[in-house]
Amino acid sequence: MSDAALLSVRDLHVSFATPRGDLPAVRGISFDVRRGQVFGIVGESGCGKTATGRALLRLIPPPGRITSGQILYHGEDLLSLPETSMRALRGRRIAMVFQDPAAALNPVFTIGRQLTGVIHQHGIASGEAARQRAFALMEELGLPAPEHMAERYPHQLSGGMQQRVMLAMALAADPEIIVADEATTALDVTIQAQIVELLLRLKRERGLTIIFITHDLGLVAEICDSVAVLYMGRIVEEGGTDSIFHDTKHPYTQGLLAAMPGEGTWGRPLSVVKGSVPDATLAISGCSFAPRCPAAMPVCRSIDPAPVHFGPGHTAWCHLYGAEKDRHG
């Protein structure tokens, strides 16, 4: 684990058993998350980003399983902890916020009951103290009139408010790390901006470390300090957000960026990354992006690209830069 890393993932593999064989969702991912940073994991649907996020908390649902690797948190490998220790860690040290708050909240209980339930479950407080803690969290998360809000049911809240409640639950035990899995995807653009602003404020005020999983590069640019771009269960490029956006190296990242709507694209068709993600159950030879890559060379179809470093923390896995490998040490 690097000195500054709060969480280090090493050679993580996750597979799902299917009638057609094992589907490798995560294929040897490694990355470091530093304390207090927002670390983005980005890619298309099916690239392995949600499996990676869930694996951090050992929440891969069957028939999926973590087949190998290490997840080092404070020097301890979470993959070797007994399940009882993981249960104590989930929510208290590392918490997760999911994409669809409406599905995550229980429709038959009030917001107050669900929030105090989480506070009680973590052993933080009970009775009136738990209620007061719930009100304080709602206030911090920008939910107006907490005492009134606590009496409402999830369906009586807007999507943005529901996501604020989910964040309040995630923060109930004051965790060090929040894993936000597409936490703004189900929201409209205005509410999305409010939740992003809220996450940034929580990072500042609480010193939170956030792992932000998204398919939206625009959000990555707004919120993330560094980012890993995933394709077919592997990181193909990683680095500081500035480097990834302004000195993009990998053809897949270049394709994703070109497909982003922005100034100058109004009224014109957007660029697309041609083709679709190949069947993950088939054996891959060489670079997994080769079938869709506009710059593919014969070597790409037979040899897996090695990492090429372009400066502090910026790495791409691509044969285009093979000759430059040693340029920056």
Interface contacts to ligand SF4, rule CB under 6 A: 250-251, 287, 289-290, 293, 295-297, 300, 305, 318-320
The number of C-alpha atoms within 13 Å of 217 and in the hemisphere containing its C-beta is 22
Paired tokens of 5: 């890393």
Residue 1's Cα: distance from chain center in Å? 20
Q: Which residues contact 141 (CB under 8 A, 6 or more apart)?
A: 164, 165, 167, 168, 171, 198
The span from the first CA to the last CA of the chain, in angstroms, equals 20
Question: For ligand SF4, which is the closer residue by CB, 142 or 278?
Answer: 278
Question: For ligand SF4, which is the closer residue by CB, 37 or 248?
Answer: 248
**Minimum gap (Å) between residue 236 Cβ and ligand SF4:** 7
Please check whether residue 161 is in contact with residue 192, taking contact to mean a CB–CB distance below 8 angstroms: no
**Minimum gap (Å) between residue 320 Cβ and ligand SF4:** 5
**Minimum gap (Å) between residue 250 Cβ and ligand SF4:** 6
**Minimum gap (Å) between residue 279 Cβ and ligand SF4:** 17
Residue/partner pairs of 133-141 with CB below 8 Å, 24 or more apart: 133/172, 134/168, 137/168, 137/171, 137/172, 138/111, 138/164, 138/165, 138/168, 140/168, 140/171, 141/165, 141/167, 141/168, 141/171, 141/198
**Minimum gap (Å) between residue 278 Cβ and ligand SF4:** 12
SS3 6: strand
Phi/psi region, residue 291 (left: phi>0; alpha: psi -120 to 50; beta: rest), is alpha
Give the separation between CA 110 and CA 234, rounded to whole angstroms: 41
Question: For ligand SF4, which is the closer residue by CB, 141 or 287?
Answer: 287
Question: For ligand SF4, which is the closer residue by CB, 85 or 302?
Answer: 302
**Minimum gap (Å) between residue 284 Cβ and ligand SF4:** 11
**Minimum gap (Å) between residue 258 Cβ and ligand SF4:** 14
Question: For ligand SF4, which is the closer residue by CB, 97 or 227?
Answer: 227
Question: For ligand SF4, which is the closer residue by CB, 122 or 250?
Answer: 250
Question: For ligand SF4, which is the closer residue by CB, 159 or 278?
Answer: 278
Please check whether residue 213 is in contact with residue 181, taking contact to mean a CB–CB distance below 8 angstroms: yes
Question: For ligand SF4, which is the closer residue by CB, 49 or 250?
Answer: 250
Paired tokens of 172: 């109930």
**Minimum gap (Å) between residue 322 Cβ and ligand SF4:** 9
Paired tokens of 251: 């053809």
Per DSSP, the residues of 199-218 read HHHHHHHH--EEEEEES-HH
**Minimum gap (Å) between residue 7 Cβ and ligand SF4:** 28
Give the separation between CA 159 and CA 191, rounded to whole angstroms: 8
Question: For ligand SF4, which is the closer residue by CB, 46 or 159?
Answer: 46
Paired tokens of 265: 């694209």
Which stretch of DSSP H or E encloses residue 131?
helix 127-140
